[in-house]
Amino acid sequence: MEHINQRRNDLSPSDCVAAFPNELPVDAVGLWQVVNTFRRTFGLEEPDLGIYVRKSIHALLAAGAVPVVGSARDKAWHIARGFDQQGEEKTEAVVQYLRGLGKDPDVGDLWLALPKFVKGAE
């Protein structure tokens, strides 16, 4: 996320949607990072916040990311259960997860990562 944070003053919300997948070859992207970017950098609230968060989730999934959770025990990413859907249905499942939190996500919640970073992934 460093490249987004360094340049975010020059970026629009749409630019951020397009930039999030660029982080995937380096690291996972947390839902907390996505929400915070739009809320804090651009001051977005609903419904615009939800629109850009959904677009970002879709872009990350389309770039090959999978929903993951971190484990303090083995310090690794693991596939999150309940996200076996494909395409737009998977995007909707992640959005529903986010809504079900009832709060803004934090670092202990869902992340999106390329399978190469996931322990046991093929």
Percentage with pLDDT > 70 across the chain:
91
State residue 10's pLDDT score: 81
Look up the domain containing 28 and give its range. Answer: 2-117
Judge whether residue 53 has pLDDT over 70.
Answer: yes
Question: Does the residue 122 lie in any domain?
Answer: no
Q: At CA 120, angle to CA 117 and CA 122, rounded to 5?
A: 80
Please tell me whether residue 75 adopts helix, strand or coil conformation. coil
User: What's the number of domains the chain is made of?
Assistant: 1
DSSP letters for 23-72: GTTTS-EEHHHHHHIIIIIT---TTHHHHHHHHHHHHHHHTT-EEEEEET
State residue 74's pLDDT score: 92
Question: Does the residue 103 lie in any domain?
Answer: yes
Q: What is the mean pLDDT of residues 49-68?
A: 98
Judge whether residue 99 has pLDDT over 60.
Answer: yes
Question: Does the residue 37 lie in any domain?
Answer: yes
Question: Does the residue 110 lie in any domain?
Answer: yes
Q: Which pLDDT band holds residue 6 (cuts at 50, 70, 90)? A: very low
Task: Look up tokens 């999150």; give the residue.
Answer: 80
Question: Tens digits of per-residue pLDDT, 78-88?
Answer: 999 999 999 99
Question: Does the residue 79 lie in any domain?
Answer: yes
